[in-house]
Structure formats: structure tokens, C-alpha cells
Amino acid sequence: MKSADAYALTIRSILNGGRTVCYAILTILNAILKIAEVPKVLKVGLLTPVFKNKGCSSEATNYRGITVLPAKEKLFETVIKFRIVSVLKKHQSVSQRGFTANTSPLHAELIVEEIMRNFKDSGESVDLIL
């Protein structure tokens, strides 16, 4: 089960809320899109320190933070993602690898290595600037 947010809500509680809750959230999300500003109430999160399982447990540097965002914020992010992913993919370079589903930076490294090898094999010089 997913953790509850700072308002004791979970995605499950929203999904089980029926049409009334869905309509209320839709109204809120449409208002946010209209004013183009996310309210502060959706920017609140619960931070939980999680031990990294290495080093001394009494040292703060051996912990990483996990933040539980408001359930409504997660829902909003999902709606926005659903709306823009198809548009972004149309304009995304085929070389783009970061933050792209079913790809990894390793794929990009292989492409760069192949390009470098082709230049070398043809006797041309090439500079790689990162």
C-alpha cells in the first residue's frame, strides 16, 4: 500500500471517492491549468529519512530522504504527463536518451562510440565535447 500524504490521503482513497471526488479534483486541476500556478498546498511533502545501510546509523550523511508528495499533486502530474508526452515525442530528437522510456544513457554511449569509430576508420579527425 502506498503511503498517505501530509493530508492523510492516498491515491487509492481518491480513486475510491467516486464521481463526486473525481469531479472536485477535475475542477481543481482545471483551475490550476487556467491560472498556471500550482498552489502551495500541493507543494507540501512528508520527508522520511531512510538509512543507506552503510556507515554509522547515527550520522545524518548516511541517510537519504524520501518525500511523499500530496496525492492530488501526483494525480495532477500524471494528467499533465499524459497530455504532453505525445507532443514532446513528436519534437524529441532521436538521439535523446535521458528521461525517455525504454532507453538508457548506455544506448547514447554506444551511438557516440560508433560515430567516433566511423570517423577514425575513415581517417577523419573528430572532437567530442561534452
Residues 63 and 79 in one domain: yes
Q: Are 14 and 71 in contact (CB under 8 A)?
A: yes
Residues 67 and 109 in one domain: no
Confidence of residue 52 (pLDDT cuts 50, 70, 90): very high
Residue 118 DSSP class: H
Choice between 50 and 83, residue whose per-residue pLDDT is larger: 50
Residues 118 and 86 in one domain: no
Q: Rounded to an integer, what is the distance from CA 33 to the centroid of its chain?
A: 19
User: Amino acid identity, residue 5?
Assistant: D
Residue 35: is its pLDDT beyond 90?
Answer: yes
Q: Is 30 helix (H, G, I), strand (E, B) or coil?
A: helix
Element (H, E) at 80: helix 71-91
C-alpha grid cell for residue 21?
Answer: 471526488
Residues 74 and 40 in one domain: yes
Residue 56's pLDDT is what? 92
Choice between 58 and 101, residue whose per-residue pLDDT is larger: 58
Residues above pLDDT 90, as percent of the chain? 20
Tally of structural domains, the chain: 2
Q: What is the mean pLDDT of the chain?
A: 85
Query: Measured between alpha carbons, how far apart are the two ends of the chain, in Å?
Result: 42
User: Is there a domain that residue 78 lies in?
Assistant: yes
Residue 45's pLDDT is what? 87
Residues 12 and 74 in one domain: yes
Q: What residues make up the domain containing 40?
A: 1-91
Residues 1 and 42 in one domain: yes
Cα–Cα distance between 86 and 8 in angstroms, integer? Answer: 33
